[in-house]
Chain A
Amino acid sequence: MSALTDALYDHLLTSVRSRLPGAIDGMIKHEMFFVLDDFLQYTNAWREDIRLRATRNRTDYEFESSEGTIITLIGVVNDNDIPVRAAMPVPGQLKLLNTPQQTETLFATVSLTVVHPENVTDFPEIPDWLLQKYCGAILDGLLAAMLSQPAKPYTDFGLAGVHSRLFAKTKAEARGAFNKSNLFGGQRWRYPQNFATGRR
């Protein structure tokens, strides 16, 4: 994890500790995984372009991310940026809907979520920009998760509801922003397509 992410996590931890008397750091870090996973699954914010070598007469390929866990296939294009019809029946398994007639390079854009940390009490690895841009949202999600735990010194279902609603609102805004590639006032892009259903 980068020094910047470490610093941002520390900042977050300091804020959470002061709002949750009696909470232990291990539990906060444990819940962070679920909050980040929820955020990334909903927004598809963390994306990666994975390069594949498609060969003649072969439609099924396996691929993996070096950064996170693959959850959704955003789209596939070839070397000329032309969309290629494909599906991902199982995360990490690409199925081309048309059999390639020649060897070509494809680029599969996928959305990712966090990988389970080695220790349950470690923070998950995430890109720096995610925590920089959405620190407030992550804080709301984390507080909602912690405050809704029963029989704890910091249990407060009312406040949990408040933070949960704030988190949901920011997730929705983030999803819209990433669909427009974070372009202020931008229109929905044709590339990358959310559904690679055909050529235009």
Chain B
Amino acid sequence: MSHDTVAEMVASARVLLQDQIPPYRYTDQELVDNINMGMLEARRVRPDLFLTNANNMPHYHDVDSTSIALDPQYHTTLLYFVVGHAQLRDDEDTQDARSELLLRKFTSHLLTVAS
């Protein structure tokens, strides 16, 4: 499954969050906000990923077919942030550990070759 658009990214996140059947546990707006936060975090550690729009970061509003303005090889990396950040709000030990793992994976994918 590709993650080229906001809708595809949110759909992929819902698979990992096991939240595909409405009413959703994580709202569409929460996941879109996570995409925006992930983009800003990526901009912080990898400004080279945003050479042409460094001063005008893309901001997404709705779950639609808007393309995600990030090099395709880092779309899965962004997905890890979206899922990890969504699970940050939960207060269970297993969720905390998973959230931490995914957020660490996001950063390590941006900064190292490690998979």
Contacts and interface: CB of A to CB of B under 8 A. Distances in A.
Nearest to A29: B51
Contacts of A21: 113
Interface string A136-168: 000000000000010111100000000000000
Interface in A16-35: 21-22, 24, 26-27, 30
B52 interface: yes
Contact of B51 (A120, A149, A152): A120
What is the predominant secondary structure among interface residues of chain A facing chain B?
A: loop
Interface in A114-154: 119-121, 149, 151-154
B48 A24 contact: yes
Contact of B113 (A22, A27, A121): A22
Contacts of A149: 48
Contacts, number: 33
A21 B111 CA distance: 11
Interface string A12-54: 0000000001101011001000000000000000000000000
A151 B111 contact: yes
Contacts of A153: 109-113
B101 interface: no
B17 interface: no
Contact of A24 (B45, B49, B109, B111): B49
A121 B48 contact: no
Contacts of A152: 46, 48, 111
B2 interface: no
A119 B52 CA distance: 8
Nearest to B72: A24
Given A30-B51, A120-B52, A24 B112 contact: no
B51 A121 contact: yes
Interface string B103-115: 0000001111100
Given A120-B51, A120-B52, 15 more contacts: A22-B113, A24-B48, A24-B49, A26-B51, A26-B71, A27-B51, A30-B51, A121-B52, A151-B45, A151-B46, A151-B111, A152-B111, A153-B109, A153-B112, A153-B113
- Going nearest first, the 3 A-B pairs with the smallest beta carbon separation are A27-B48, A24-B71, A153-B113
